[in-house]
Chains A and B, each alone.
Chain A
Amino acid sequence: MPDTAAVRQPGAAPLAGVTAWPARRPASPAPRRRAAPRRRAPARPRVQRVPPPEPPGLSLPGDSGFTLQAGPRRAALRRTWLDTFDWRLYRAGLTLEQVTGRGTAELRLTGRDGTLLAAEQLRAPGRRASQTPRWPALIAALPPGLLADELAPVIGVRALLPVARATSVLREQRALNADDKTIARVTADEMTVTPAAPPARPAPPAAAAEAAAPVTLPARLTVIPVRGYQAQAARLESLLAGLPGVLPAGRPALEAALAAAGRRAGDYTGRIDVELTPGMPAAAAIAAVMAALLDTLEANVPGTMRDVDTEFLHDLRVAVRRTRTALKLTGQVLPGGARGEFRPEFKWLGDLTTPTRDLDVYLLGLPGMTAGLVGAEPGDLEPFGEQLARQRARAQRDLVRGLRSARFQRLRRDWRTALTQATAAARRKPTAARLAAGAIADAHQRVLADGMAITPASPATSLHELRKRCKELRYLLEIFASLHPPGTAWRAVKELKSLQDCLGEFQDTDVQRAELRAFATTMMAQRQVPATTLLAMGEIAAGLARRQRQARTQFDALFRDFAAPAGQARFQPLTRPATG
């Protein structure tokens, strides 16, 4: 819904907005003077309220046939736009905004065209209790209703967090025709943007300081025709757009607010967003990819430490694993002993994150496992869930300690320096295309060889090892995707995915069964587990064993398909140096 829909007439749709008045920043505070010696400084008021300056009114040419009549100034609204860290709402064409006025708060979900899809009143005048969540918040913190139902499938396990904040002061002017009849309402929305959250990618210090200051945007004008006067309102709108200093608004309020805060929608993606060219030096290419992975890693550190949602840690781990793969399989092109120096450090970082992630996977899967219980009651598992939560809290504390450690800070700093040096010292040969083709061909061959060696008698560890080889192959495909024509690498990833999913199910159920046994032992030792809980855990263990057997059965057929000539054909173009 447009910003100014409060004044919409029945049946009247707003015309496209126009923007007036140049953007301005609040004047810098005057330099503070030191008080004269032995003279008491005047008492400073505890709260200093400075009314925002009034914007100059619009004036139309005398012969335009229209006049503008000022309406009342409206109370300021506080606006907070919310999205997940990876912009799931934005990518789904949705905008979620919390609008807070005097004694009211409402969440509004709109589509790309501004259509209101759902709204939830969080606070109303006279209603004492407020249902406003403390952001960031998971879907469970929202009041149940249509809005939560619409959001849940889009955001999944991710938290909603503020991506932009602003205050809006709305002023309405009536546009009158030659008969002094109101033909449209012109609403000016003057937005002052305040910083909400840091951008996902690090900004230069100067830009960051700029983005941290509140910015008053050009007022956004919306012309809402009175019914039956659409033609005159359209004429008025073109007149307003032609006035000096008036610009077509075009983009939605959220995008304007983000731009003012030095951000853009979709500025974070978990994908490797680096464009490589086949002829570029291999070391420079690898350094560019690893620098992007370091950005992603660093972008996810605050959310992981604050435990905002489980995906921060997931994305951080993916960035680490991709880095480790790139170091292991392509790091030989980096100068000096960079590969040898940093591989153990990234292994340490990966290991640091594993306990919390494993417990996350368990906790996220627990509702599904509970729902599948046949003999036991869902409530029987509560002590188990609580045990998991306690253990996770401990693991999270260890993780935070590790991320605060000097070792981690040093790793970040030294790794970035090493990547900068690698770019500067990169030799022309080998090229990125040659390095990519060789690494992918080797990784592919290893997957084929390891997979073919697996027999019905092979231990679970062989499948675990194969899963790691598959992941390495996949990361290489993703890292070098930009060297090949669009879609080439993704077709190969798709071929690999079903095999990976099967191996993932096999390993996850194996790990979870082992952990379940360990939990049961611990809980028994602590003498705090009811028999019903152990029985329910036994039923879950049986379910996990069944799933693991199914995955093992599926593996044979899936690997046969993968190794078949049709499947292999998808990898052929990627194992030859790309030309460009």
Chain B
Amino acid sequence: MKIFATYNIKGGVGKTSTAVNMGYLAARDGYRVLLWDLDPQGAASYLFRIRPRVKGGGKALIKGTRPMDDAIKGTDFDHLDLLPADFTYRNLDLVLDSAKKPARRLASLLAPLRAEYDVIILDCPPSISLLSESVLHAADLLLVPLIPTTLSVRTLDQLTDFISDFSGHRPKILAFFSMIDRRKRLHQEIARDLPRERPEFAATVIPALSVIERMSVERAPVTAFSPRSQAARAYTELWQEAKERAGLSPAPAES
């Protein structure tokens, strides 16, 4: 089992779109996938038409008083399940703070799901917090969407420094440019140059396309409702890179 997390300190950079499409593509490949919508806004849950509610809230899950199994919902797609968001997730930092080894809590909660899933994707809220630290410790690969600006790249540096201080398990990073506007010269330059200089960057970029915004209308991944679109092709290429970077074994359907 490999754990992927979409993470960025900033909001609105395409984390949820990435998580949802990666989840769909992994399931389409034949992997058994669980997507955990950790963002109390519940965008990923909304996109899969699943109500953002967990009985007992985030506290019950983190404390282990409610089995994760009970809260998991099947999406409309084979092999793809979702652990929905809940508004109480906004207080997860407090809950984690009172737990033992809070930074490792998420990893230990996910460990029992190893037998049931091949891929777990954590869709994180935009923040630097105890929750994000716990996510960074649990993940095998961080998918970091970045808007092509100098400030964004600085944020990536901060993240890389922060992870390099971890003792033991450190997640790999796959940064990629998201919401690229082909009309903006700066976007084009940064998206062209940085992947050549920085090994953690993916070759794939995700363009800013209206079809991606339509996901909230269709309430489905763009890779599902418009599989031949430019956006779907970009996400598919990104998934290929993510799989390779994470060292994911072939799915039963592929092997």
How distant is A184 from chain B, measured CB to nearest CB, in Å?
Answer: 10
- Supposing A10-B79, A227-B73 touch, asked if A181 and B32 sit within 8 A by C-beta, the answer is no
Point out the residue from B74, B78, B219 that lies within 8 Å of A228, measured CB to CB: B74
Taking CB atoms, residues of chain B closer than 8 Å to A181 are: 48-50, 76
Whose C-beta in chain B lies nearest to the C-beta of A9?
B74
Q: Lowest 5 A-B CB distances belong to which pairs?
A: A228-B73, A227-B74, A226-B74, A181-B49, A182-B76
CB-based contact A10/B32 at 8 Å? yes
C-alpha gap A228/B51 in the complex (Å): 11
A229 within 8 A of B: yes
Interface string of B78-95 (1 = CB under 8 A from A): 110100000000000000
Q: Indicate the member of B32, B48, B49, B219 with the most A CB atoms within 10 Å.
A: B49
- Supposing A180-B49, A181-B50 touch, asked if A9 and B78 sit within 8 A by C-beta, the answer is yes
How distant is B129 from chain A, measured CB to nearest CB, in Å?
Answer: 28
B116 within 8 A of A: yes
Taking CB atoms, residues of chain A closer than 8 Å to B81 are: 10, 227
How distant is A580 from chain B, measured CB to nearest CB, in Å?
Answer: 60
CB-based contact A229/B49 at 8 Å? no
Taking CB atoms, residues of chain A closer than 8 Å to B74 are: 9, 12, 182, 226-229
B interface residues with partner A (beta carbon < 8 Å): 32, 48-51, 71-76, 78-79, 81, 116, 219
C-alpha gap A12/B160 in the complex (Å): 41
Point out the residue from A10, A174, A228 that lies within 8 Å of B76, measured CB to CB: A174
Taking CB atoms, residues of chain A closer than 8 Å to B116 are: 10-11
Q: Indicate the member of B49, B51, B72, B74 with the most A CB atoms within 10 Å.
A: B74
A179 within 8 A of B: yes
A selection of 10 A-B contacts at a CB cut-off of 8 Å is A9-B74, A10-B116, A179-B49, A182-B76, A226-B73, A226-B76, A227-B72, A227-B73, A228-B74, A229-B74
- SS of B interface (majority): loop
A interface residues with partner B (beta carbon < 8 Å): 9-12, 174, 179-182, 226-229
How distant is A425 from chain B, measured CB to nearest CB, in Å?
Answer: 71
Whose C-beta in chain A lies nearest to the C-beta of B71?
A228
Taking CB atoms, residues of chain A closer than 8 Å to B71 are: 228
Whose C-beta in chain A lies nearest to the C-beta of B116?
A10
Taking CB atoms, residues of chain B closer than 8 Å to A226 are: 73-76
C-alpha gap A181/B79 in the complex (Å): 16
Q: A180-B219, A226-B74, A229-B74 are in contact. List 19 more A-B contacts (CB 8 A).
A: A10-B79, A10-B81, A10-B116, A12-B74, A174-B76, A179-B49, A179-B51, A180-B49, A181-B50, A181-B76, A182-B74, A182-B76, A226-B73, A226-B76, A227-B72, A227-B74, A227-B81, A228-B71, A228-B73
Taking CB atoms, residues of chain B closer than 8 Å to A228 are: 71-74
Whose C-beta in chain A lies nearest to the C-beta of B70?
A228
Taking CB atoms, residues of chain A closer than 8 Å to B75 are: 226
C-alpha gap A226/B82 in the complex (Å): 12
C-alpha gap A9/B76 in the complex (Å): 10
How distant is B103 from chain A, measured CB to nearest CB, in Å?
Answer: 29
Taking CB atoms, residues of chain B closer than 8 Å to A10 are: 32, 79, 81, 116
Taking CB atoms, residues of chain A closer than 8 Å to B51 are: 179
Whose C-beta in chain A lies nearest to the C-beta of B46?
A179
Taking CB atoms, residues of chain B closer than 8 Å to A9 are: 74, 78
Taking CB atoms, residues of chain A closer than 8 Å to B79 are: 10
C-alpha gap A226/B75 in the complex (Å): 8
Q: Indicate the member of A12, A179, A181, A226 with the most B CB atoms within 10 Å.
A: A181
C-alpha gap A226/B74 in the complex (Å): 5
How distant is B61 from chain A, measured CB to nearest CB, in Å?
Answer: 14
Taking CB atoms, residues of chain B closer than 8 Å to A227 are: 72-74, 81
How distant is B16 from chain A, measured CB to nearest CB, in Å?
Answer: 18
C-alpha gap A466/B48 in the complex (Å): 81
How distant is A124 from chain B, measured CB to nearest CB, in Å?
Answer: 15
Whose C-beta in chain B lies nearest to the C-beta of A177?
B49
